[in-house]
Structure 1
Amino acid sequence: MLMQRLQTLVLACLLTTFSLMALADETLDQAAELIKQKNFKPAYELLEPLESERAGEVDYDYLLGVAAIESGQVSRGVFALERVLAQQPNNMNARAMIAKGYFRGGEAENARAEFQNILSQNPDADLAQLIERNMLSVDKATGQTTTFAAYIDGGWGFDSNINSATSNSTVSAFIPGLGLIDLTLNDASREQSSKYLSLSAGASFRAPLSKNLSLFGSAQGSARSNWNESDFDPSYVDFSLGLTYKKFIDTYTVALQRNNFNVDSDRFRESHGVALQWQRQIDDQNQLTVYANTADLNYPDTKVRDAQRTLGGVGWGHAFTGDKAPVVFVTGYYGKEDVDDSTFDFLSHDIYGARVAVQSVLHYKLVAYANASYELREHDERDPAFLKTRNDDQFDFAIGLRYLPMPGWTIRPQLSYLDNDSNIGLFDFDRTVLSVNFRKDFNW
């Protein structure tokens, strides 16, 4: 929302500038046309080689600053616009653009100061109102004012395996006195497919407690109705409450979390725990994340599965340069799940995992994304029912699109696939889900 408002402000300034600017030559004319068409990267590539000989020319520096900031070269753009303001301190167009550059570079206070400078120059009423809205958006984005958000999401889909069950008709199991024998599985223990409808909603808030410290909380829930078999209808509710402390390029978060997961309206699992995270914004393009969480898992109908789950990981995000360049995030993690009753230690297991996600802007209203992950689960002891120590290799991936037909609305078609390769046949399965979701976001 903030970037949309900044874009509106900057384009308004650009149209004024281009209508009045007496361009010195064909190169600047071509760059100006590219910028008006939102082709920022080609404009930057056209102007950048000339910087050593043309730096200091107001028209050149202004166009270079706009093209650089919009194509991801924030520092170069800010330097160019600073040269403009050194010669023309009252240039509102340059100040509007440099404010955007400051904000994109993580300098929210400088961005706000530039907006204040524009207001001090007594702009017309429409521009003043737009700038004030941008200043409020900066305050919200930086946690300096209380914000609220909510969403509602509905969808339709097809799930090839709603109960995450094996496709095998028989499995080998150990029966005392008989040894290993093949048992025939009933329909409920084998994979079942179904079309489904889903509905989810949530709300959240963030309130500043001081300049660097803020309180946040959220609640969300989701329910799914399978057309063919309601016995496996899943639903859940999540709650979280926490604190975020931000200091320079580092953000620290601690949160209390609660989750209730139901199947066919019956409580299947309850969990509550604590999550910790440290995030460092290394530069405009790189971000490091370290996280850890622990949770108590309670199964009301199968108490032998009650456990303590602890997990920690490291992630790295990288945004490539360019207005449509992809963003990549890679993470690796390790965890341990220990059952409360040591008699059933064959259910305890170690968890090793890795995940990669990428997204790319295809159009200002359309984003493509894909993610893939691998998880290895190694159990501690031999399962007495199968006379094996269970090991699972799980691979999954998803591809999809996010289309924004209008502000606040998102349409998301997605295809996902999961394959759980287990050395015990009962837990060996795969699953394909095709879905389309429609989401409405509210922010105030």
Structure 2
Amino acid sequence: MLRPVLFATACAGLACTAGPALAELDDAVANALALYQAGRSQDAFALLIPLQATRAGDADYDLALGIAAADSGHPAEAVIALQRVLAIQPDNAQARAELARAYALAGDIDTARAEFDTAMQDPSLPDPVRQRFDQIVRNYDRQIAGGGSDVSGFLDLTSGFDSNVNAATDLDSIVIPLFAGFGPGQLGANAQATDAAYLEAVGGISAVSGVSRQTRLFGSLLANIRENLEAGFDQAAATGTAGVAHTLANRDVVSLSVQGQQFWLGGDSFRQAIGVIGQYTHRLEGGRALSVSGEVFRQNFDNDPLRDSNRYGAGVTYAARTFVLSAAGGREETRRSAGDHLSYTYGRANLAFELPAGDRVAVVGGIGGQIRGYDADDPLFLTAREDEQLDASLGLKFRMTGNVYARPRVTYTRNWSNIALYDYERFTASFGIRAEF
């Protein structure tokens, strides 16, 4: 992060501790700086901001307020406070560097770069600090030119146990209304819940490239393969995405992408899907964001044309530092009227979290629910299917070394359906190793 770099280098090079020594400051400023140095920037800002009406123009106060405001997600207040410092002390290189950082946080990279240029003209600036500032300026130049290119990815290897690999009922027989006169019908092995150990590999790579200061191209490829040992129902999928994202003047981001997926079941091609996704993300203070999205997909099923469908959906997501809350709804509509009993409307909500529990470990998990209502009566069960599904997961994320993590996890799924064939319960326990680059 830019903040620790600026604070550490500026203080070392300019012989300061965010201003004059604490002993020389009044209690309010000294207490605020102590809070800041303890990592409590928001508390420091909350202590100082109510005093602005009477203390504005005091260089020590304004510098402390500017530092705390910038570090707690209030760049506009930081810019104003630091400008007051420079109005009184135009040669204050630290205040100018902090002002540059505040402009950068507010999204004004051009002004941030200009302020750093001015700070670097101070002949008293030590060489180590000058070199660090020069690196920051080069980074700004890179952003102004579009941000350059970046590639990242991951590989996740998992083994575990699944109590119901085929998401099927645990009943061995059911009554089919269309054939009720014949009594309960015996279900085949593939229609009953099957447990098995499994191996799974998931990998992905993504790339982003700036074409201008505000516009970036992005793309990704995600693939996974899962083998259920001695049980069948093996699965594999490959998903490719490509799109463009544009950052607006208020730092909100709008993006549009195309996505295609191929899914295999039991080693055979099962489904293809291709569609368009649009998203608008509004950035909030403290690293939070609120997004709305919409999607349109076309799905084709091999050897089952009645299931070919168009899928429409919209959702909203709130992302914070430790959790993501999302809700979505939409419709999957078959393209042939004979498949109306497979068309459905859905709604879902999900909460996912990652809570630090130490320097190298975090608790991860989530809980979500989904409802689905189908359009027409099932031809065998003579009623329209209705499902309610609950999903939950809980695990740990251990940092083993660098960007390599160990991830033990358990999951639980319960699907309630008014048609017994689709009513099921599922539990998994797994251990995985994940490497990120």
* Smaller-chain TM-score bracket: 0.7 to 0.9
Q: Give the corresponding residue for 1:387.
A: 382
Q: Which moved more, 1:134-143 or 1:329-338?
A: 134-143
Q: Give the corresponding residue for 2:344.
A: 349
What is the CA distance between 1:288 and its match in structure 2? 4.3
Structure 1 residue 21 corresponds to structure 2 residue 16 = no
Is the contact made by 1:165 and 1:190 (CA closer than 8 Å) also made in structure 2? yes
What is the CA distance between 1:257 and its match in structure 2? 0.7
1:304-362 Cα offsets, whole Å, 9 max, x none, are 3221112123x25375xxxxxx5665444332212233222211111223344556666
1:210-261 Cα offsets, whole Å, 9 max, x none, are 44433222112122344x4452332211111122233323433221111112
Q: Give the corresponding residue for 2:151.
A: 149
Q: Give the corresponding residue for 1:116.
A: 117
Is the contact made by 1:145 and 1:207 (CA closer than 8 Å) also made in structure 2? yes
Distance 1:198 1:63 in 2: 52
The equivalent position to 1:426 in structure 2, one of 421, 427, 430, is 421
Query: TM-score normalised to the size of structure 1?
Result: 0.82
Distance 2:99 2:360 in 1: 25
Q: Give the corresponding residue for 1:7.
A: 4
The equivalent position to 2:203 in structure 1, one of 201, 204, 210, is 201
Give % identity.
28
What is the CA distance between 1:381 and its match in structure 2? 0.9
Which amino acid in structure 2 is aligned with residue 223 of structure 1?
Answer: I
Stretches of structure 1 that go unaligned for 5 or more consecutive residues are 320-325
1:380-422 Cα offsets, whole Å, 9 max, x none, are 1111122221011122234556566766455555544332211
The equivalent position to 2:220 in structure 1, one of 207, 212, 218, is 218
Secondary structure of the corresponding residue to residue 183 of structure 2: strand
Secondary structure of the corresponding residue to residue 336 of structure 1: strand
Secondary structure of the corresponding residue to residue 176 of structure 2: strand
Secondary structure of the corresponding residue to residue 21 of structure 1: coil
Q: Give the corresponding residue for 1:396.
A: 391
Distance 1:234 1:337 in 2: 22
The equivalent position to 2:291 in structure 1, one of 289, 292, 304, is 289
Distance 2:109 2:405 in 1: 28
Is the contact made by 2:156 and 2:435 (CA closer than 8 Å) also made in structure 1? no
Distance 2:145 2:296 in 1: 27
Which amino acid in structure 2 is aligned with residue 441 of structure 1?
Answer: E
Which amino acid in structure 2 is aligned with residue 115 of structure 1?
Answer: F
Structure 1 residue 172 corresponds to structure 2 residue 171 = no
Given the superposition, is the C-alpha separation of residues 396 and 221 from structure 1 closer, same or farther in structure 2, using an over 3 Å criterion?
A: same
RMSD over aligned Cα atoms:
3.4
Q: Which moved more, 1:424-433 or 1:74-83?
A: 74-83
Secondary structure of the corresponding residue to residue 232 of structure 1: coil
> What does residue range 237-248 of structure 1 map to in structure 2 within 5 Å?
237-248=238-249
Distance 2:397 2:108 in 1: 29
Aligned residue pair count: 430
Secondary structure of the corresponding residue to residue 60 of structure 2: helix
Q: Give the corresponding residue for 1:323.
A: none
Distance 1:162 1:220 in 2: 22
What is the CA distance between 1:436 and its match in structure 2? 4.8
Q: Give the corresponding residue for 2:64.
A: 63
Stretches of structure 2 that go unaligned for 5 or more consecutive residues are none
Given the superposition, is the C-alpha separation of residues 300 and 391 from structure 1 closer, same or farther in structure 2, using an over 3 Å criterion?
A: same
Given the superposition, is the C-alpha separation of residues 421 and 339 from structure 1 closer, same or farther in structure 2, using an over 3 Å criterion?
A: same
Given the superposition, is the C-alpha separation of residues 290 and 31 from structure 1 closer, same or farther in structure 2, using an over 3 Å criterion?
A: closer
What is the CA distance between 1:277 and its match in structure 2? 2.1
Is the contact made by 1:100 and 1:111 (CA closer than 8 Å) also made in structure 2? yes
Is the contact made by 1:297 and 1:308 (CA closer than 8 Å) also made in structure 2? yes
Distance 2:407 2:119 in 1: 39
Given the superposition, is the C-alpha separation of residues 427 and 142 from structure 1 closer, same or farther in structure 2, using an over 3 Å criterion?
A: farther
Structure 1 residue 163 corresponds to structure 2 residue 166 = yes
Secondary structure of the corresponding residue to residue 394 of structure 1: strand
Secondary structure of the corresponding residue to residue 17 of structure 2: helix
Given the superposition, is the C-alpha separation of residues 141 and 288 from structure 1 closer, same or farther in structure 2, using an over 3 Å criterion?
A: farther
Distance 1:422 1:139 in 2: 58
What is the CA distance between 1:166 and its match in structure 2? 2.1
Q: Give the corresponding residue for 1:322.
A: none
> What does residue range 20-419 of structure 1 map to in structure 2 within 5 Å?
21-23=20-22, 24-121=25-122, 123-135=125-137, 137=139, 144-156=146-158, 157-174=160-177, 176=179, 179=181, 181-226=183-228, 228-229=229-230, 231-249=232-250, 250-281=252-283, 287-313=289-315, 315=316, 317=318, 329-357=324-352, 371-399=366-394, 408-409=403-404, 412=407, 414-419=409-414
What is the CA distance between 1:131 and its match in structure 2? 3.4
Distance 1:212 1:10 in 2: 28
Which amino acid in structure 1 is aligned with residue 271 of structure 2?
Answer: R
Query: TM-score normalised to the size of structure 2?
Result: 0.83
Distance 1:20 1:82 in 2: 15
Distance 1:202 1:413 in 2: 20
Which amino acid in structure 2 is aligned with residue 171 of structure 1?
Answer: I
Given the superposition, is the C-alpha separation of residues 211 and 182 from structure 1 closer, same or farther in structure 2, using an over 3 Å criterion?
A: same
